[in-house]
Each structure stands twice: as C-alpha cells, then as structure tokens.
C-alpha cells in the first residue's frame, strides 16, 4: 500500500517570479502560458519572490502594487489556488530562516562565481549589498523547503539551480537525506520572443526602447501600435530565414499564439505585405490576451478576494515548508522549542 501511494505521488514542481515588472509577452509565451497545464502533471508550487527583489533598491509603493498585480496576473493566466500553492515569499518566514542556515553551508567562492552576481554588481555598482551576493541561498531555500523535484527555469537561472543542487547534496552528505535534489526543467514548448524594436535582443522589461516590449496588461491599441512599428527588413516577403530577425520573431509569436506552422504562415501570407502581417500578429496577440486581461481586471477590482487567496496560499506554504525546516534544524542540533 505504501509503495502504491509512493508511485502515485506526483512530482513537485516549483517556480518563483520576481515582482519587479508586469510580465512581458516574452515571459508569457516563453513560460507562463505553459504553467496551467503543469497543474495536472505535477503538484505545483508558484510564488512571488518579493524578498529577492530587494537585492536591488525598490520603490515601496511600487513594490506593493506590483506584488498585487503579479498575484492577480498569475491567477489570470490560469494558476488556480485550489490546485497550486500560490504564495508570496515574504508571507512565509520559513524562507528567510532556511536561507540563513543554507548561508552557512555555502562557500564564499561558490557565490563569487555566479555570473548573475557579477553582472548585477556591475549594473548596480553603487549598491553591491550582501543580499545580492547570498541571493542563491535564498533561492535554494525556496526550492528545498518544498522538496521540489523539478524547477522550470530559463537559461539565466540554470547556474542558480546548479548551486542549489550542490548545497542540497552537501547538506545531505553531512546529515542524511533531508532535501530532495531538484532537477532543472526547461519546458520544450516555450517560444523565445525577441524585442520588437531590436529583434537581435530578447524581449525584456529593461529594453531601452519602450516599443520593443509588449506587457501583458497593455491595452489592445497599445499592442497594435507596438506591432505596427515592429522592425522588419526590406525584402517584403513573409518567410523564416537567416538575417530576417524581425520577421522570424513575428512568425514565432504568431505561431506560438495561433498554433500555425511556419509553412502555413508563409503560404497564408504569400504575396501580402508586412503591414498585413504585422496587423494579423497584433490582432492575434490582442485576442490571446483578451481573456487574461478580462480576468485580471476582475481580480484587480476584488482585492478582498485576492487577499483571501494569498492568505490561503501562505498558510499552506508555511505548513509544508515548516516540516522541512524542522527536519533541517533538528539535524543541525538546534534545541527544539517544544519538547
Ligand atoms: N531568481 C529567479 C529569477 O530572478 C526567481 C526565483 C526566486 C526562483 N526563487 C526561485 C525561480 C525558486 C525558481 C525557483 O527569475
């Protein structure tokens, strides 16, 4: 019987996202669109990494507002608080507690090799704080507290997942099996979306050209405008080919949204101009985001309901994560508060 339940247990998948901006169309088509279906395949944990975000100075009002908006958006794209643990990291003190412990099992040299630390300390040279340096220990705590088996991450977070595995293995080798050693999970379905203004660069919230990035909460007219001004080439032929970065990107977006193959898109737009194609891509994106935006507006108008959800999420998260924290603390030799 025990064997049976073990077999039936779904793997645990966990991912956190920072509340530093409204997610972009790139975040959506690259990752978030696939998340709701994880809820059937895995036991899913999704969180908002607000503690991570303060490694870079944040405006207090904006941080609060963006946290609410991101929570509403996660629900709007289809994450269901009845199926997933959906929580805000700062509501679950166990994350900070385990992070401290893990700090003491992580080497200075290891953290110094993190490319994100090196990049961010150059970018924010006036604020190279300790949190920026120990960031991976907090991320490891996020993951290990829930005994996650798989962590869907973008390429930029792979090194942080590697160090999480190293920390877990180091701890386990001293104390026995306390933590599940997680695997990175790079979902196959995600599309890589480039900036509409400079299609050689990834679509990003930090694009210097605001026309390059579509946000999930952009209005239909803003979305249409951004697509109409998308950079293309002078060939005037809708086909996927080297050197046609702008058209390749629009085709990738169109295909991700409509499910049409590149061949089909090429034949549908044979003989048509880029104006028609850009309009079609813009309209397809508007239609794709319409139900998400409708839900988002409804949630944002019912903050009491949202608060109920994040409270429920935090309660479950605290319960689950406390089990792992207790186990780790006991192994280390801390005196238990309750005897
Ligand atoms: N560091 C991740 C990012 O910036 C966010 C994050 C924090 C995360 N904790 C995590 C991602 C745990 C996956 C698992 O994108």
The encoded tokens of residue 269 equal 């737009």
Bridge partners of residue 70, in order along the sequence: none
Ligand 1 centroid to residue 16 C-alpha, Å: 5
Mean pLDDT of the chain: 95
User: Distance between CA atoms of 76 and 161, rounded to whole angstroms?
Assistant: 27
Mean pLDDT of 140-150: 98
Does 50 contact ligand 1 (Cβ within 6 A)? no
C-alpha span between 306 and 312 (Å, rounded) = 10
Ligand 1 centroid–CA 90 distance in Å is 14
Phi (first) and psi of residue 198, to 5 degrees: -140, 85
Relative to the CA of 49, which ligand 1 atom is closest? 7
First to last CA, the chain: 32
Q: Which two tokens stand for residue 338?
A: 């309750």
- Cα–Cα distance between 75 and 72 in angstroms, integer? 5
If you average pLDDT over residues 18-31, what whole number do you get? 95
Structure confidence at residue 187 as a pLDDT band (50, 70, 90): confident
The two tokens of residue 57 are: 């100075």
Length of the chain, please? 339
Centre of ligand 1 to C-alpha 157, Å, is 7
Q: Is the CB of 143 under 6 A from ligand 1?
A: yes
Atom of ligand 1 nearest to the CA of 139: 9
pLDDT digits (tens, 9 = 90+) for 225-236: 999 999 999 999
Q: Is 130 exposed, middle or buried (0-12, 13-18, 19+ CB in 10 A)?
A: exposed
Residue nearest to ligand 1 atom 13, measured at CA: 15
pTM: 0.94
Active site residue 122: no
Ligand 1 contact via 18 beta carbon (within 6 Å): yes
Active site residue: 33, 202, 244, 278, which one? 202
Examine the residue annotation and report whether 205 is marked as an active-site residue of this protein.
Answer: yes
- Name which of 135, 44, 32, 113 is nearest 77 in CA terms: 32
Of 116, 142, 154, the residue with max ligand 1 atoms within 8 A of its CB, to mutate for a pocket test, comes to 142
Q: pLDDT > 70: what percent of the chain?
A: 97
Q: Is the pLDDT of residue 319 over 50?
A: yes
- Residue 257's pLDDT is 96
Q: Is 49 in the pocket of ligand 1 (CB under 6 A)?
A: yes
User: Out of 37-51, 74-88, 182-196, 269-283, which region has the weakest mean confidence (pLDDT)?
Assistant: 182-196
Whose C-alpha lies nearest to ligand 1, atom 14? 15
Q: Which of 10, 118, 205, 330 is catalytic?
A: 205
The helix/strand/coil state of 197 is: coil
Respond yes or no: is residue 64 known to be catalytic.
no
CA distance 62 to 205: 15
Catalytic pick among 33, 120, 211, 226 = 120
pLDDT digit string (tens) for 243-267?
A: 999 999 999 999 999 999 999 999 9
For residue 6, is pLDDT > 70? no
> Which pLDDT does position 1 carry in this prediction?
44
Mean of pLDDT values over 164-171: 98
Q: Which of 14, 17, 150 to mutate to test the pocket of ligand 1 (most atoms within 8 A of CB)?
A: 17
């Amino acid at each position: 019987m025990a064997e049976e339940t073990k077999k039936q247990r779904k793997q645990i998948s966990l991912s956190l996202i920072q509340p530093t901006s409204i997610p972009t169309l790139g975040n959506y088509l690259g990752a978030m669109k696939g998340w709701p279906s994880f809820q059937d395949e895995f036991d899913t944990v999704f969180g908002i990494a607000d503690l991570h975000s303060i490694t870079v100075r944040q405006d207090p009002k904006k941080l609060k507002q963006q946290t609410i908006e991101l929570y509403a958006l996660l629900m709007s794209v289809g994450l269901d608080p009845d199926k997933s643990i959906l929580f805000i990291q700062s509501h679950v003190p166990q994350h900070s507690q385990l992070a401290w412990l893990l700090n003491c099992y992580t080497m200075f040299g290891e953290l110094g090799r993190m490319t994100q630390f090196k990049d961010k300390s150059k970018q924010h040279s006036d604020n190279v704080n300790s949190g920026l340096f120990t960031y991976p220990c907090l991320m490891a705590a996020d993951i290990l507290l829930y005994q996650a088996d798989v962590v869907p991450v973008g390429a930029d977070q792979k090194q942080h997942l590697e160090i999480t595995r190293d920390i877990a293995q180091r701890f386990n080798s001293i104390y026995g099996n306390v933590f599940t050693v997680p695997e990175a999970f790079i979902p196959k379905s995600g599309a890589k979306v480039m900036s509409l203004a400079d299609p050689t660069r990834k679509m990003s919230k930090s694009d210097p050209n605001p026309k390059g990035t579509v946000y999930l909460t952009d209005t239909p007219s803003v979305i249409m405008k951004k697509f109409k001004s998308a950079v293309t080439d002078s060939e005037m032929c809708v086909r996927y080919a080297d050197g046609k970065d702008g058209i390749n990107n629009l085709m990738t977006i169109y295909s991700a949204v409509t499910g049409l193959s590149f061949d089909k898109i090429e034949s549908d737009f044979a003989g048509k101009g880029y104006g028609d194609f850009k309009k079609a891509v813009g309209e397809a994106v508007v239609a794709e985001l319409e139900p998400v935006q409708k839900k988002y507006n409804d949630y944002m108008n019912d903050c009491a309901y949202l608060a109920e959800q994040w409270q429920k999420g935090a309660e479950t998260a605290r319960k689950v994560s406390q089990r792992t924290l207790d186990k780790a603390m006991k192994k280390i030799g801390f005196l238990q508060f309750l005897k």
